[in-house]
Amino acid sequence: MVHDLIIIGAGSAGLFAAANVPVGWKTLLLEKTSSPGKKLLLSGTGQCNLTNNEPIKAFLNRYGENGKHLRPVLFPFSNLALVDYFEHKGLPLYAREDGKVFPVSMKSADVLNLLLDLGRNNGVTFKYRSEVNEIVQRNKPETQAIIVKTNDEIYHAKNVLVATGGESYPQTGSDGSFFSCLEHIGISLVTRRPALAPVFVRDYPYSDLSGITFQNVALLLNRKDANDVKKVEGDLLLTHKGFSGPSILEISRYVTAGDRLSINYLPQRTPGDLRLELIKNAAGSNKQITTILESVTSLPRSFLEHNCKRCNLKENEKSSHLSGREMERLANRLTNDSYEVSGSAGYSVAMTTAGGVCLDEINLRSMEAKRFSGLYFAGEVLDVDGDTGGYNLQFAFSSAKRCIESMQV
């Protein structure tokens, strides 16, 4: 039997494709693990942040350097279209103040169950514990079928959709093992690395302050290999081992060991501005330097006390006793806290994967491989990684929808 479509991978992109195939197609979905949607169930800490309600044009800035290429993928099936889709299928959604869109139930299982029901209603056959280990591409467009080989069977299909994910959360089955199959048929790949992950630095000083958060810090990443600077603003979290929070997760797609990360906890101030402000407030004052710092910066007191010690100052030192040079050290510490990057957290922690199938291989108007007729790609398997906030699921759904629509032309 020749299938109209074989979908490889029962993650977000594969399941959304199955939910949108035409009724009457002979569609087979192959999943190497024992159950579908394992990573989807984890998304949004189990609450499933499906998308974001900011204007769709703003999405193009949410996928790093590749975002500018994604207009033909995201615009035809936008965030507003996605919300309308789920609500018309019986899953009410709501948008939080920060723009993140969730099911009203706040249960990712409700999203999974809906997609499975839609796929089954479309006549899709789901087969689990079926790992694809080879694709034999047809040499000519008129050749009838692509051959898909699993660990125990051989299938034939007019179209094949690769939705195998990246390498993040490998315990869910998204372990990157399928990339070797793509290399075997000559698909160009961009080196994979963890993204949306905490960042580790040498001589990290804040282990005892784990849990403290900062709003709207400014990050500068000087990349030693790329010879450029990346700038990000957003919230930051101190953990026991390193830096995390939305700003760090966003910049993590670029970091490599040896880069230089600088943090300005007061992005509206320069070191010189803060130094002068501290000197002015300390003049003739009997207040402790930590008290002055707290009133001037509104940063957490325990964090300020810790940085006084890092500057070889006593936190209960009278502010008027400090020299201009000591004020300068404090100002620099709070506006240019600089570290050498030692790396980022691995795939077991990273929310997504940077790298994957090179976008140059893909016609982004159809999601079909340029050099392999009938072979389509969707989701994290591609070299697309979005910021935290619903952008990765939106891309998975939009790219899957584009695949299915293109196959029908």
Distance CA 18, CA 357 (A): 21
Question: Residue ranges of the domains in the chain?
Answer: 2-194+347-407, 198-345
Distance CA 74, CA 171 (A): 29
Give pLDDT tens digits for 353-392. Answer: 999 999 999 999 999 999 999 999 999 999 999 999 999 9
User: What is the structure's pLDDT at 38?
Assistant: 95
In 3-state terms, what secondary structure has residue 162? strand
Give pLDDT tens digits for 284-305. Answer: 888 999 999 999 999 999 999 9
The torsion angles phi and psi of 267, rounded to 5 degrees, stand at -65, -15
Topology at the third CATH level for domain 198-345: Helicase, Ruva Protein; domain 3 (1.10.8)
Q: Tell me if 181 sits within 8 A of 132, measured CB to CB.
A: yes
pTM for this one? 0.90
pLDDT(138) > 80 = no
Q: Tell me if 8 sits within 8 A of 394, measured CB to CB.
A: no
Give pLDDT tens digits for 311-327. Answer: 998 878 888 888 889 99
CA 191, 254, 79 angle in degrees (round to 5)? 90
pLDDT(141) > 60 = no
Topology at the third CATH level for domain 2-194+347-407: FAD/NAD(P)-binding domain (3.50.50)
